[in-house]
Amino acid sequence: MAQRRNPLVQALTTGFTLAFLRVSASLPLAFNRWLALRVGRLLSYVVPRVRRVTLENLDRAYGDSLSQGEKETICRGAIDNVSLVAAEFAHMARMDKSTLGSQVTLVGKEHLKPGQGYLIVGSHLGNWELVAPFMARTGMKVAEVVRPLDDPRVDRAIDAIRCTEEVTTIPKDNAGKEVMRLLKEGYAVGILIDQSPRESAVPVTFFDAPCWATIAPVMIAVRAKVPILPVSCVRNADYSYTLTFYPPLEMERTKNLRDDLVRNSQRCQDVIEGIVRKYPEQWLWLHRRWKERPRLAEDWAKKTARDK
């Protein structure tokens, strides 16, 4: 049973978030970034769990292949990146189409065919919030699957910013039917697949460590008969961005659906891992990606036992 939040804490959190969005949008972006970097680093020490979880994950992923100093550098970069995402978010609506030419470099656009539906898979790397609006500014019809926030007022405010460039947002719960409809209409529908799912998952490895991955992109792509296209939006040193479309993933199809789900989900995770390895300081290491899921493990054991 979900715990009920303290009403006062909830009200304060909501008020702070809405005020932050208003103030952030009114300030120059350069100042926002400057302030966010300093506040983010301060909070990482005030809330030690942030650094602890980040470094634990780096230890799990890299083991002894990186020195402690190298891991600390990645940790600082990852904290800075989250801070910058927050600073840049409220300014998404103010980035006009000329931004694509002056601040955004497109790589791999040859992988896109006009009018073709695509399932876009990405991760919490670089500024993931900018992927959808940047794609929309290329003339594509774009939608993204999002998890609604607990507070309706905050959710509406966040959603309004995300939808500025005619991006369609799809609530995560029961999103399947709407995703299928939009794919058939030629939309590029984005899903972030790098976090630990609570349901509809298969066992995979990420950085050679066991974890769970959502089956959603593979299931949807097979049913809708559309390509799975990985994407990333990396922030460069000068605060410009590189939006990269990677080649469509080849999906293996055999007569064993369960094995196909595992192998193809692993392929999705492998491409995300490759991008994270290239830009480790821009990934969300503070998320518990390798969290144990006893219920998922139990359900999977039952399913595989029935197949024997």
Query: 117 and 226 in one domain?
Result: yes
Tens digit of each residue's pLDDT (9 = 90 or more) over 165-216: 789 999 988 888 999 999 999 999 999 999 999 988 999 999 999 999 999 9
- CA-to-CA distance for 232 and 205, rounded, in angstroms? 20
Q: Give yes or no: residues 107 and 232 share one domain.
A: yes
**CA-CA-CA-CA torsion for 200, 206, 208, 210, nearest 10 degrees?**
-30
The range of the structural domain enclosing residue 121 comes to: 94-283
**Residue 114: which pLDDT band, with cuts at 50, 70 and 90?**
confident
Q: Is the same domain home to 124 and 251?
A: yes
For residue 64, tell me if it sits in a domain: yes
Q: Which of residues 72, 90, 108 is at a domain's end?
A: 90
Among 48, 75, 90, the domain boundary falls at 90
How many folded domains does the chain comprise?
2
Tell me the C-alpha distance between 19 and 70, whole Å: 36
Residue 8 pLDDT greater than 80, yes or no: no
Which of 38, 71, 90 represents a domain boundary (last residue)? Answer: 90
Residue 66 lies in a domain: yes
259-269 pLDDT per residue, tens: 899 999 999 99
The pLDDT, as a whole number, for residue 71 is 98
Q: Both 174 and 26 in a single domain?
A: no
